[in-house]
Amino acid sequence: MAEASYPDDLRYHPEHDWARIEGDTAVFGVTWFAQDALGEVVFFDPPGLGTEVAKDSTYAEVESVKAVSDVYAPLSGEITEVNEQAKDKPELINTDPYGEGWMVKVELSDPSEAAALLDAESYKKLLDS
């Protein structure tokens, strides 16, 4: 997507990752800013199912022609689903970072961690600062 956007229904991590929280589960991905900074994504390397991820730690790599970048977990939990389509078509991370370009689905180990994440307004302020 060509224009920057930061949906209000997501929670954001300062390392440019988002979480869509539904009860005890959440979907993770990277923000418009992250994919724009990276350029065309050519490689997405997610962890295997069942992997434990820890909030603020890296869990995946995305790679563009010019650089490789770590993806940070906005929350802690266990990977229950990986976006296989984004592995085959990593450009989805550029074209639809909040939709078809999602990365993993996680069973949250401590949903209360979400209190530390930013809302869209705060994240946009962080980007402007």
| Span 10-69, contacts to another protein by CB under 8 A | 36, 39-40, 42-43, 61, 63-68
Query: Token match 């990276």: residue?
Result: 38
Q: How far is CA 65 from CA 37, 76, 91, 94, 119, in A?
A: 12, 30, 12, 13, 31
Min CB(118)–another protein separation in Å: 24
Q: What's the closest the beta carbon of residue 58 comes to another protein, in angstroms? A: 10
Q: Determine the longest span between alpha carbons in the chain, in angstroms.
A: 38
SS3 category, 117: coil
Q: Output the smallest distance, CB 42 to another protein, in A.
A: 5
Between 74 and 90, name the residue whose CB sits nearer to another protein.
Answer: 90
Q: Residue 108 CB, nearest distance to another protein (Å)?
A: 27
Query: In the chain, count of helices (H) and strands (E)?
Result: 4, 9
Residue (68 or 116) nearer to another protein, CB: 68
Residue 80 tokens, joined:
């229950």
Cα 22 from Cα 44, distance rounded (Å): 24
Q: How many residues bind another protein (CB under 8 A)?
A: 12
Residues interacting with another protein, by CB under 8 A? 36, 39-40, 42-43, 61, 63-68
